[in-house]
Structure 1
Amino acid sequence: MGKEARKIAERFNANADSAEIAGYLHDISAVYSNDVRIQVSYDLGIEVLSEEEAFPMIIHQKISKEMARDIFNIMDQEILDAVGCHTTLKKNSTILDKVLFVADKIEWDQIGEPPYLFQITQKLDHSLNDAAFEYIDFLWKQRDNLRVIHPWLRDAYYELKDLV
């Protein structure tokens, strides 16, 4: 995913090296299965939101941030912050946050092609905000069927909705 993040960063004048590093580190917490992620988070001193406790998969972004700092010695706060919100995005996100968020949705870790891929890549032709909002809106339209709506995603939805 590092190459996709670099490509998007170059396209939107973000730091391509930082984007690539963040792209390679964003899912390093996948070494922990969902059933232990909450305990790992507590052990690392990470704040656990009720939505993350209900759906532990989404806390991996916070664990990856800690691992990037503690194991890989990443001290660049912009990289750490992007890794820390790559699944949900957040309000007041940076260009690098959005680059990593969109790259993560394009280079997903499932079998097959993402159902929203065409729409996101089309929106990238307009702006990074449009592409990020496209995915969040895709989820938002299904919110009644989702296990949780992370508050960061909700905040990003309303912020980007006003921007696009």
Structure 2
Amino acid sequence: MISRLFVASAAALLLAGCGGSPKVAGEPSAPTAPQPVARTAGTLPSSAMAPGTLTVSQQGITPVRTVWYLRIEDLAARTMFEQSYLQPIALSKTLAEGRYRAIVWHRACEKTCPADGEQGLGPLEQVCGAKVTVAAATTVRAVAVVGADGSCAIKVTT
């Protein structure tokens, strides 16, 4: 009985080692074919793609005592840029070729709008956004059009 168990164990060990040559410590492993990596535009390293320019501005009469915010993010929702504005939004940003979202929102201030931080700011009021495609050596313009009631819409032109 023990001899059968020993033979079965030895056979299992021998079979487990079949199909390949033994590895020698320190010997490099055999090269493998490169595996394709799926990437989406807007997520490649900036060195891999030629840059383009995105400009964002604001039109219309903004409600008094509001702080405006602008966020540029890739389609995986990674923030590329975010800033608050006490004055109308004005941005010119060089970005890698790809697809992005431009998102604008505002928050009302109780008295004086803070230059930084959130003290004295009300809740988020209006959000608008649009997808933009940045191509190499081109400029894309996104304009946040603000209504008198604080509503907004983003118009994109190339």
Pick the structure with greater CA Rg.
Answer: 2
* TM-score range normalised by the length of the shorter chain: under 0.3
TM-score w.r.t. the length of structure 1 is 0.23
User: Which has the larger strand fraction?
Assistant: 2
User: Which has the larger helix fraction?
Assistant: 1
The one of the two structures with greater contact order (alpha-carbon pairs below 8 A, sep at least 6) is 2
